[in-house]
Structure 1
Amino acid sequence: MSRISYITNLEEWASSFLFQHQITVRFSETDMFGHLNNTVPFTYFEEARIEYFKSLGFMQEWVAADVDAIPVVADLQCDFLKQIFFNDKLSIHVKAEKIGNSSVDIHYMATKQDGSVCLTGRGTIVQISKSTGKPIQWAADAKNLMEKNKMLLEKK
């Protein structure tokens, strides 16, 4: 699949996700042509990313009042493969693809009920200090948790 730079083999890539979050397309998310507005997938990615981070235990720490670290989106992209319509049921899949010192490259895939891939995406999340705005390294246990999930995917 040459048009999506972060995917070498779509089937292999698609089979490497463990986490997914269910979404139903609301009427207000469609445009006058009846299909999903092109800005909405970024909201879906955000919702699924938050649920993914919750499943790892990160969100609970980030929202605590006494914690200085917060996640910020450094970049985000979406590739549209199929049209999506009102009331479609989507599974938004999320995985940590590349883990850096203070950043993580997150990949996203949306599938329809029939299993077909309709959206793909990726984005870099950076953990920063609320007080300084500078990157904060992942704690060893947080990085290990993301690495462990990545290794489970590679063994699949």
Structure 2
Amino acid sequence: MRAAYIVDAQQWMNGFTFSVDVQVRFSETDLNGHVNNTVIFTYFEYARIEYLKALNLMKDLADPTTENMTVVADIQCDYIKQVFFDEVLTIYVKTASVGKSSLDLHYMVKNANDEICFTGRGTLVQMNYKTGKGAPLSEKEKKLLLGK
């Protein structure tokens, strides 16, 4: 694989334990019938939210009374294989690293033939609503994100 964030492809692939499926809808395709390149980011978002829900972190992130919010600081996708209307994709998500107020997530998308179609990574940052500055993740959050 050509992505700079993947050092050892087999080890990287083996690190994924969480996944969700999506089916490519007609409205997500272009005139050639393949998925529009921007749609992959909505698949990443869906998988990211389901991943955080599975870790019991989404309730806190979506609480309107909280002092902090989580924002996507950056996100990227590497396109490997075309995907077409009605295909079922499995989107894998894992925590690659956790910092003081940020975390780096990695994504792998496979088709029904177990072929990698897309890979990706993105940084989430927890910020304080009032100050707009980074807010530290709790030790509990860090442990959940690192699978400890």
Q: TM-score range by the shorter chain?
A: over 0.9
Aligned to 1:93: 92
Alpha-carbon displacement from aligned partner over 1:19-78 (angstroms, at most 9, x marks no partner): 101100000000011101010000000010011111111110122222111110000000
Aligned to 1:9: 8
Report percent identity of matched pairs: 46
Give 1:128 deviation, angstroms: 0.7
Aligned to 1:73: 72
Using the alignment, how far apart are the partners of 2:147 and 2:118 within structure 1? 26
Q: Please give the secondary structure, in 1, of the residue aligned with 2:74.
A: strand
Aligned to 1:33: 32
2:107 partner amino acid: Y
| Unpaired segments ≥5 residues, structure 1 | 150-156
Q: Please give the secondary structure, in 1, of the residue aligned with 2:49.
A: helix
Normalized per residue, the structure richer in helix is 1
1:99 partner amino acid: V
Using the alignment, how far apart are the partners of 2:23 and 2:40 within structure 1? 12
2:133 partner amino acid: K
Instruction: Note the 1:52-131 alignment, pairs <5 A.
Output: 52-131=51-130
2:94 partner amino acid: K
Structure 2-normalised TM-score? 0.96
Using the alignment, how far apart are the partners of 1:11 and 1:135 within structure 2? 34
Give 1:148 deviation, angstroms: 2.2
How many residue pairs are counted as aligned between the two chains?
Answer: 148
1:30 partner amino acid: T
Using the alignment, how far apart are the partners of 1:148 and 1:63 within structure 2? 21
Q: Please give the secondary structure, in 1, of the residue aligned with 2:147.
A: helix
Structure 1-normalised TM-score? 0.91
Give 1:11 deviation, angstroms: 2.3
